[in-house]
Structure 1
């Protein structure tokens, strides 16, 4: 099969310089010398959170004699005549989805009125997708964002006219071969750019014979269009790239007597509950409830405050629109949610006590996953083109493109029979909810937190590590945690006790604030620490300014932690990397890591996300081991 391919997929491992390789391509083969009439402009489409990083890399890595003029097309308007004057135009998937909606609306209205579609008007309305607008090269960063060929993001980028087309992604196939069909469709590689033909010839899974032949066909296709290099690849026995060293250290933490008593009490109660289900043979039926028990043990390993209330359900106040959406749920969905013994996030498969609920289907998600689903800037293929990024398709059932997410509070509020007057909501909880949307409220919340602040063994150990690093090498430090309340507690300790400058990067911050935090951490010598929410900052970021990484709590899937570490362990890192994993000794955390290590080989050998998700689903033996009633070899 002979392929005509003006472009392809760069699928290098995380941290191997896909961005720099692409910038080098722009400089080596620029449109100025092109005779095809496509102009000189490179269009880069990326998640919102990475746009500033692209701009910064171009400005800092290109020599003065070869400077590229860059235009940021995000939350601003420009004509195609303006865009074509620049060497590079940076825009987001959400921006193009919005433009696709405008184009679709214009064409629909013109057709309904029996009017001829005016290409000039359409090109003015849609500076990127207009039929008369063209680019020299279009580059999709985090190209797995278009894996769903039915999404608005995928439809939008496939409408771009360009001479060369490139996809950048460390995970070109996450769930199944069909996802590659959307990338091949964008690349316009015949004959498989026809989605139906791709599914029939390569993506089919109807029987084993077809699958075997399809896999051979897929391998032949990828051999021609995909370049994928990994950090441990070699050429003639030598590594393809010399990265700085990486050392991973487990720092064990020991509870003080009060924490030990508190944890053992929780563990005793959890064992009793698990043994009850084990004897009855109903472990599978109560799987979600058991995950919540394990969640509480994990939280107790970090700080007692994490277990006081459902801290991670923090969000904005329940508005009328959310209440209306909650009221639109069907009776069977309502009964399903009310009857649930406990909740498990449909994406990461972790336990969640107060989920975010997808309307109308009723599937539920943790806070971090719901934020990524609702925000096209978080590498999301499901957010569908509203400028506020709230319309989406449920990733679990894939049934409704007009789905929206509401909080558990919004679900419960219209169903409360009467206001409970004898129990006041926890003061800290109320302050923390308000702090999300107001700087003044945030200062009040942090002031209150300082007033009730208590240390924990793990927070103390983290501060000791930070202090030791600053007294010796003075390296910059990234601290990852799944729980933003733990980051709040660390912020108090680092600011007040260690007197060090720090900044934050988490899902409660908008794209502008996140980018400002990254700039501040990278460019300000006095800022020594950045506190990062694991799910908000485990992919796409370049944080080579730091060379010390502290992981406060183990996640089920080691692949997620590896992504977080690769924010520093990548091309451009000038120091050796040290990764500190803080584990509380003789607790569920040690047992989680033992399960991780037993299954890590599966993750390392997997290209996509199916195997990663299988790690999240625990068997009965795994659960028994986590509750301390079995051994890891079962």
Structure 2
């Protein structure tokens, strides 16, 4: 930011408070360079997450604050970013000196009241069951996941036993049930870390499916789910009724025309149905937020 190009750059500010300061964590962006170029007598950074990825995120804040030495990139790289015992001590000293941490539970020593008056928090646990179509799709993913993990464990045991990778032919039924794409479907990770990463991806897909199947759509073979049918397929009249359902009526409906429809973004899952029902109760009771 150059004086004359922006009215903000032409002002000598008494104080600048940079809210959500982590937004300028990348020191190479124009936004970060612009705020650092502002002229001020006092500077404050307000953020709940001063570190996202690494210590260079914190450097961007130090640069904005104009902290002597620590706002210089060369100094930061040599004395802070490089992992040593002394650099850790410098970082701790820096945080103690320049960081003021305020938690919601803190009480003001002057007023003897909480710094922030918040209503009491209540937690409610709701146990949900998949709909019939969701259960069928999830069970297929779960069985494929279990078979894939078993296969990797068997390969690892063979490596440890014989000292070399033993190539085994996959069971035909296991291959046909493999619903995953990408790293979760690869059967030949080259290391223990590769296997571990593959297992974590598989667990991630199962967790995503519990949130909404759309999150897994680009990670599974959709053809594998098209073979799953309904014991009682919908007739023409029932399909017409589904098209005309309002959200209120859809909350109580568990049927879809095709099981692959649950992978669509617009699909109203069991979780969303409950959320809509809870919102309706809140509105009917006239609760204030």
TM-score for the superposition, normalised by structure 1: 0.29
Distance in 2 between the 1:216 and 1:292 partners? 35
> Would you tell me which structure has more helix in proportion to its own residues?
2
SS of residue in 1 equivalent to 2:145: helix
Selected match of 1:294 from 203, 220, 230 = 203
Any idea what the Cα deviations from partners look like across 1:259-283, whole Å, max 9, x if unmatched?
A: 3333222211211111111222356
Q: Which stretches in structure 2 are left out of the alignment for 5+ residues?
A: 157-188, 224-242, 248-255, 258-265
Superposition pairs of residues 140-151 of structure 1, within 5 angstroms: 140-151=18-29
d(CA) in 2 for partners of 1:233 and 1:179?
Answer: 27
**Paired residue for 1:259, among 101, 121, 134?**
134
Structure 1 residue 250 and structure 2 residue 159: aligned?
A: no
Higher relative contact order (CA 8 A, sep 6+): 1
Say which SS state the counterpart of residue 190 (structure 1) adopts: coil
Aligned to 2:176: none
Tell me what 2:146 maps to: 271
Q: Any conservation in 1 of the 2:70–2:76 contact (CA below 8 Å)?
A: yes
TM superposition shift of 1:291: 4.7
Matched, 1:139 2:17: yes
Structure 1 unmatched ranges of 5 or more: 1-99, 104-122, 311-351, 354-422, 424-445, 476-546, 548-634
1:229 aligns with 2:106: no
Q: Is the 8 A contact 1:149 1:155 kept in 2?
A: yes
Q: Distance in 2 between matches of 1:264 and 1:301?
A: 11
The aligned residue for residue 214 of structure 1 is: 90
CA contact (8 A) 2:16 2:42 kept: yes
- 2:216, 2:92 → 1: CA distance? 54
Q: CA deviation at 1:253?
A: 0.5
**Could you say which residue in structure 2 is the equivalent of 1:186?**
64
1:467 corresponds in structure 2 to 280
How many angstroms apart in 2 are the aligned matches of 1:160 and 1:303?
45
2:287, 2:121 → 1: CA distance? Answer: 18
CA–CA distance in structure 2, aligned partners of residues 169 and 307 of structure 1: 30
1:287 to partner: Cα distance:
4.9
Q: Is the 8 A contact 2:208 2:216 kept in 1?
A: no
Alpha-carbon distance change, 286 to 133 in structure 1, aligned in 2, over 3 angstroms: same
1:181, 1:455 → 2: CA distance?
44
Contact 2:21 2:47 in 1 (8 A): yes
Do 1:182 and 1:195's aligned partners in 2 also have CA atoms closer than 8 Å?
no
Q: How do 1:490-501 and structure 2 match up within 5 A?
A: none
Q: Is the 8 A contact 1:141 1:168 kept in 2?
A: yes
Report which of the two has the higher share of strand: 1
| Structure-2 separation of matches of 1:145 and 1:302 | 28
Distance 1:454 1:172 in 2: 37
TM-score where L is the length of structure 2: 0.59
**What is residue 592 of structure 1 aligned with on the other side?**
none
Deviations 1:309-355 (A, max 9, x none): 43xxxxxxxxxxxxxxxxxxxxxxxxxxxxxxxxxxxxxxxxx67xx
CA RMSD after TM alignment: 3.7
Task: Indicate whether 1:125 and 2:5 are aligned.
Answer: yes
Q: Does 1:170 align with 2:48?
A: yes
Distance 1:454 1:199 in 2: 49
Relative to structure 1, the CA distance from residue 299 to residue 151 in structure 2 (aligned partners, 3 Å threshold; closer, same or farther) is: closer
- Structure 1 residues 217, 292: closer, same or farther in 2, change over 3 A? closer
Any residues of structure 2 matched to 1:280-359 within 5 Å, and which? 280-281=155-156, 284-287=193-196, 289-302=198-211, 306=214, 309-310=217-218
Distance 1:279 1:232, change over 3 A: farther
Aligned to 1:481: none
| Other-structure match for 2:39 | 161
The Cα of 1:465 is off from its aligned counterpart by 1.7
- Higher-Rg member (1/2): 2
State how far apart, in whole Å, the 1-side matches of 2:115 and 2:107 are.
5
Is contact 1:204-1:211 (8 Å) kept? Answer: yes
Q: Deviations over 1:541-562 (max 9, x none)?
A: xxxxxx3xxxxxxxxxxxxxxx
- Give me the whole-angstrom Cα distance separating, in 1, the residues matched to 2:268 and 2:40: 57
CA contact (8 A) 1:185 1:192 kept: yes
Rounded Cα–Cα distance in structure 2 between residues aligned with 1:291 and 1:124: 53
- How many residues in Structure 1 have an aligned counterpart in Structure 2? 215
C-alpha spacing 1:233/1:251, structure 2 compared with 1 (3 Å): same
After TM superposition, give the deviation of residue 174 of structure 1 in Å: 3.5
Return the alpha-carbon distance in structure 2 between the equivalents of residues 220 and 457 of structure 1.
47
Select the residue among 271, 275, 285 that pairs with 1:458: 271
